[in-house]
Structure 1
Amino acid sequence: MINPLSSPSFTYRDFRFLWLSSAFNSIGFIGEQVIVGWVILEITDSSFMVGVSLALRMVPFLFLGIIAGSLADRVNRRNLLLLVSVVMGFLSLSLTFIIYFGFIEVWIILLLTFLAGCVRAVGQPARQSFAYDIVGTANLVNAISNLSLGMRVGGIGGSLLAGLLVGKFGADAGYLVLSLSYFTSVFTLLFIRSPESPDLSEQESFWQNIAGVGKEIKHNNSLLVILLLSGMVEILGFSHQALLPVISRDVLGLGAEGLGVMNAMRSAGGILAVIILSSLGDVKRKGLLYLFVLYAFGISLFLLAYAQSFLLAVFAIVVISGLGAISDILSQSLIQLVVPNELRGRAMGTWIFAVGLGPIGHMEIGAVAALTGVGLALTVHGGLLLFLAASTMIFFPRIRSL
């Protein structure tokens, strides 16, 4: 039996606390997705507005990603993660009181959702780079896999809790629990005692830091292609999340609890995939595996497109989410491997920037679904993802050799 807790990265005490922090943080982040999607759908009855609300959670990654990566290379990463979790906790607590006292308005929810996205975008590069600081190069893929595992474990709890609380007690109760999860994340981070890695860019100004990663992208063709792939996968593959509230309510006839279960299955699929990938150790030919995963990702979207039963929809979501988890881990690992050590934080910032392109897909798929239906919207995205993987395999052989 595969036991992820016996994997190399878990032999590091500080990584175990970072893992716990990531899990509690993810309870808040994934739970928020359930609550926001359901509340906006109930208020507006629009799949497009659901797409907009989820897009606002991700659009800060687009314009803050590279800046956040530079920040991660210049400050104490643990302290940055502490600050991010504290602010996220207070934002969730603010929504608790706003909804409880009856001030629920679409614009208020969208604004605070956007601010939460900004805060999370600032912290994401630091989390991945901090894992590298703790475990080193040899255990990098294993560490990132296990961090992803922790986030998905938290995602299951967050999804189920959010769906249950919204269905039984209301959105204010859901946000209250999410705020507690963020504050618990703060508590676990306090136990990390790893020394900060040397500041290799301390003689450069902040803007010189950013210019440095721009030069690296310009001259590092592998980095550029991986970033473009990451952005397009976010637009075409992960955008299916914007349709889950619509699939739950309008296709399957379920309530908020059903949406919570569907989101929990997203996390469960990710967990299964991450455990398998983590057990493989240092995967050879990561680039080739990445492209095969993108092929399968595209095909799996067809399955969800025409799922008319809850069980089939859940199965499709598990498969899609597992493939999405592996694609994230491999793209992050490839980026860390193709850049110099002093650019790791900023390189992860460029990945966050690429992920920030996701809102394009969220809004586009929501609009297409509103006009033509969920099935056609998902079919188009699946077909385009297949074309992307095939084109990369043919025209960029360097990627499949990494």
Structure 2
Amino acid sequence: MESKLTLIQQGPFRSFVYRDYRFVWIAATSSSIANWMLKTAIAWLILEITHSPVLITFAFAVFAIPSVVIGPFAGVWSDKYSRKKLLVFIWIVSSVCSIILGLLVMADFQGIWVIFLLTALIGSSMPMVFICSQTYIYDIVGPANALNGISLWSLGLRLVGAGGAIIGGFIIESAGTYLAIFVAAIGYGVACIAISAIRHVDARGTPDDSSVFENLKSGLNVIRGSGLLIGVVILAIIAEAFGYGISAIFPILADEGVFAVGAFGLGIMNGAFGVGGVLGSIILATLRNLERLGALLVMVLMISGLLLLGLSLSTYFYLAILIIGGIGLLMAGYDTFAILIMQRSAPEGMRGRLTGVLVLTFGIAPAGHMALGFMTAALGPSLAIGTSAVIVISVTLLVFITIKKLRSLQS
């Protein structure tokens, strides 16, 4: 028994030895499957109502825009208040909003702006989930196991996310969009129950009598004073807008004008992106340490740009699926490297605030989603994706050349 325990503690699943980590993981994965199913359902719903590339990408943007306002404050709140209570509250709100949306779809309601409002309310939970999960993981498993804990967390999100996207597409095709939305509501409920079981004694951040705005200012000052962290934030914006953001035009690729694969094909594309992320997270979880995190962050974004270029030239659906999977794999690397750089660069008691600034990019990135929508409407999907590839490669190369510490950063 002792040898088995030692093997687990030294193996790729060592973070699961911690009880509270297991509940954080269950909560995060339940929320992830809900998010993926909901994104697939909303994208298809908007496509059926409007057939507008701009409005479809706007739906993705609306899901992320709340991060602009909430992201930095969420970091402060996670440092000052009970993370458990914050997460329970936002998952209850997400579940209720999903139920309302599902009922509206059942009633054949087609008010686009009401759908966008509910989408924005659900999307407002994302920064809090991300920040609280990351700070929980770092506190529970410690710096030595942070790479493993974050990678397994990412693996869980991507593994169930891939299944959620595919199952969501199947449910939409066979039973209707409303049912996929109701299943998403159940996922948020499961997440709420799981996080309630956390016993972590450091549920509140370091006691601090300063105001939320003063705490926010202190976090921004740390970023502003570090060329390294500014570079990471710039690369995060590029990755969110044109790496993850490419999924915003998957419905266009699935429609009759390109691959003509329908809602199930849309689910396959989203699923391929998730499966690629799963493979990337598995690889990262098996590693114990990494050298030159900054160079690795740059490398995954450069290769992502090249794959986007390949996607823009692809005329075969299954080749596109392989490329999309590759981009998903690389985005798993981006997630882990960016988070680790932020967590390890943060002064004690400020991990939430610095991670909150990183989450801010989730909300800034919809500008890229909207740009993709306008480019797709004006130029077609191939040229839009090709332009995205050029932007990713150019900006990443510029950041790499101009920020010396990013090139030399060690783990």
Secondary structure of 2:124's partner? Answer: helix
Alignment match, 1:223: 229
Among candidates 369, 373, 379, match of residue 376 of structure 2: 369
Amino acid paired to 2:16: F
1:4–1:85 Cα change, 3 Å: farther
1:372–1:198 Cα change, 3 Å: closer
Alignment match, 2:214: 208
Alignment match, 1:145: 151
CA distance in 1, matches of 2:69, 2:375: 25
CA distance in 1, matches of 2:126, 2:100: 16
Amino acid paired to 1:8: R
Whether the 8 Å contact between 1:85 and 1:183 is mirrored in structure 2 is: yes
Alignment match, 2:65: 59
Amino acid paired to 1:251: V
In the TM superposition, residue 392 of structure 1 has moved relative to its aligned partner by 2.0
Alignment match, 1:38: 44
TM-score (structure 1 length as normaliser)? 0.96
CA distance in 2, matches of 1:193, 1:275: 27
Residue range with higher mean Cα deviation, 227-236 or 240-249: 227-236
CA distance in 2, matches of 1:255, 1:365: 21
CA distance in 2, matches of 1:364, 1:253: 23
Amino acid paired to 2:363: G
Alignment match, 2:299: 292
Secondary structure of 2:22's partner? Answer: helix
Q: What is the CA RMSD across the aligned residues, in angstroms? A: 1.7
Q: Structure 1 residue runs of 4+, over 3 Å off?
A: 2-6
Whether the 8 Å contact between 1:32 and 1:178 is mirrored in structure 2 is: yes
Residue range with higher mean Cα deviation, 47-56 or 121-130: 121-130
CA distance in 2, matches of 1:231, 1:332: 14
Amino acid paired to 1:375: S
Whether the 8 Å contact between 1:213 and 1:347 is mirrored in structure 2 is: yes
Alignment match, 1:246: 252
Superposition pairs of residues 246-325 of structure 1, within 5 angstroms: 246-249=252-255, 250-325=257-332
1:190–1:197 Cα change, 3 Å: closer
CA distance in 1, matches of 2:204, 2:65: 31
Is the counterpart of residue 347 in structure 1 residue 354 in structure 2? yes
CA distance in 2, matches of 1:254, 1:209: 49
CA distance in 2, matches of 1:363, 1:77: 32
Amino acid paired to 2:336: I
CA distance in 2, matches of 1:5, 1:109: 45
Alignment match, 2:104: 98
CA distance in 1, matches of 2:226, 2:346: 8
Alignment match, 2:172: 166
Structure 1: which 5+ residue stretches go unaligned? none
Amino acid paired to 1:295: M
In the TM superposition, residue 132 of structure 1 has moved relative to its aligned partner by 1.1
CA distance in 2, matches of 1:198, 1:184: 23
1:155–1:95 Cα change, 3 Å: same
Among candidates 81, 84, 87, match of residue 78 of structure 1: 84
In the TM superposition, residue 200 of structure 1 has moved relative to its aligned partner by 2.2
Residue range with higher mean Cα deviation, 112-121 or 328-337: 112-121
Tell me how many residue pairs correspond in the alignment: 401
Among candidates 80, 93, 114, match of residue 87 of structure 1: 93
Whether the 8 Å contact between 1:201 and 1:342 is mirrored in structure 2 is: no
Alignment match, 2:4: none
Residue range with higher mean Cα deviation, 302-311 or 347-356: 302-311
In the TM superposition, residue 218 of structure 1 has moved relative to its aligned partner by 2.1
CA distance in 1, matches of 2:155, 2:128: 21
In the TM superposition, residue 166 of structure 1 has moved relative to its aligned partner by 1.0
Among candidates 187, 192, 197, match of residue 193 of structure 2: 187
CA distance in 2, matches of 1:398, 1:120: 30
CA distance in 2, matches of 1:5, 1:101: 51
In the TM superposition, residue 158 of structure 1 has moved relative to its aligned partner by 1.4
CA distance in 2, matches of 1:377, 1:244: 12
Amino acid paired to 2:34: G
Alignment match, 2:395: 388
Whether the 8 Å contact between 2:79 and 2:204 is mirrored in structure 1 is: no
Whether the 8 Å contact between 1:68 and 1:123 is mirrored in structure 2 is: no
In the TM superposition, residue 382 of structure 1 has moved relative to its aligned partner by 0.7
CA distance in 2, matches of 1:83, 1:68: 13
Residue range with higher mean Cα deviation, 243-252 or 385-394: 385-394
Whether the 8 Å contact between 1:238 and 1:358 is mirrored in structure 2 is: no
Amino acid paired to 1:275: I
CA distance in 2, matches of 1:319, 1:161: 21
CA distance in 2, matches of 1:169, 1:116: 23
Structure 2: which 5+ residue stretches go unaligned? 1-7
